[in-house]
Chain A
Amino acid sequence: MQSLHIVSAYDEELKYLSKRIAAMGGHAERMVEQSVLALVNADPDLARKVVEDDAILDQGQREVDDKAILLIGKRQPMATDLREVIGVIRISADLERVGDLAKNVAKRVASVGDNSMQPASLYRGLEALADLALTQLKEVLDVYASRSVETIGFVRDRDDQIDAMYTSLFRELLTYMMEDPRNITPCTHLLFCAKNIERIGDHATNIAETIYFIVTGEQMPVERPKGDKTDRIVIPAR
Chain B
Amino acid sequence: MRTYRSYLPDIMADLSDRQKYGARRFMRNLWQARWLLAVAVAALFCVQFFAGMPFMVLPAAIVALLLAAGISGDATGDGEQSRAAAEAGELQSLSAENLAAAVTDPLIVFDDNASIIHANAAAIAAFGDLRAGMSLQLKFRAPEMQVLIDAALAGGGSPSADFIDKLPVERVYRVTASAVGHGSRLHVLLFKDQSEARRIDRMRADFIANASHEMRTPLASIAGFIETLRGPARNDPAAREQFLHIMQNQTGRMARLIDDMLSLSRLEMKPYLKPGARVDVKQVVESVVDSLGPLAKENNLVIERDFADGPMEVPGDRDELYQVFENLLENACKYGQDGDRVVVSIARTDKAPQPGIEVTVRDFGPGIPEEHIPRVTERFYRIDSETAQSRKGTGLGLAIVKHILTRHHGRLSIQSELGKGSAFTVYLPAN
Residues in A lying within 8 Å of B, measured CB to CB: 15, 18-19, 21-23, 25-27, 29-30, 33, 120-121, 124-125, 128, 131, 134-135, 138, 141-142, 144-146, 148, 151, 153-154, 161, 164-165, 167-168, 171-172
Contacts and interface: CB of A to CB of B under 8 A. Distances in A.
The 6 closest A-B CB pairs, nearest first, are: A26-B141, A145-B138, A164-B374, A165-B374, A22-B138, A153-B352
Contacts of A124: 378-381
Contacts of B167: 131, 134-135, 138
A154 B353 contact: yes
Contacts of A29: 141-142
Given A26-B145, A26-B146, A153-B352, A142 B139 contact: yes
B78 interface: no
Given A151-B353, A168-B375, 12 more contacts: A18-B135, A19-B135, A22-B146, A25-B141, A26-B143, A120-B380, A124-B380, A141-B138, A151-B352, A154-B353, A164-B373, A168-B374
B375 A125 contact: yes
A73 to B, nearest CB: 25
A72 to B, nearest CB: 22
B138 A18 contact: yes
Give the secondary structure class of B's interface.
Answer: loop
A23 B147 CA distance: 10
Interface in B135-170: 135, 137-143, 145-146, 166-168
Nearest to B377: A128
Contacts of A171: 371
A47 B291 CA distance: 50
A224 B374 CA distance: 19
B264 to A, nearest CB: 14
Contact of A145 (B134, B371, B373, B380): B134
Contacts of B278: none
B131 interface: yes
Interface string B370-407: 01111101111100000000000000000000000000
Interface of B: 113, 128-129, 131, 134-135, 137-143, 145-146, 166-168, 213, 352-353, 371-375, 377-381
Contacts of B138: 18-19, 21-22, 141, 144-145
Nearest to A18: B138
Contacts of B129: 142, 146, 148
Given A128-B375, A148-B129, A33 B353 contact: no
A146 B115 CA distance: 12
A22 B371 contact: no
23 contacts: A15-B135, A18-B135, A21-B138, A22-B146, A26-B145, A29-B142, A30-B142, A30-B143, A33-B166, A120-B213, A124-B378, A125-B381, A131-B167, A138-B167, A141-B141, A142-B128, A145-B135, A146-B129, A151-B353, A164-B373, A168-B372, A168-B374, A172-B371
A23 B143 contact: yes
A194 to B, nearest CB: 12
A134 B168 CA distance: 10
B141 A121 contact: no
Contacts of B378: 121, 124-125, 128
B152 to A, nearest CB: 14
Contact of B137 (A22, A27, A151): A22
Contact of A22 (B141, B166, B372, B377): B141
Nearest to A124: B378
* Best-buried of A25, A33, A168 by chain B (most CB within 10 Å): A168
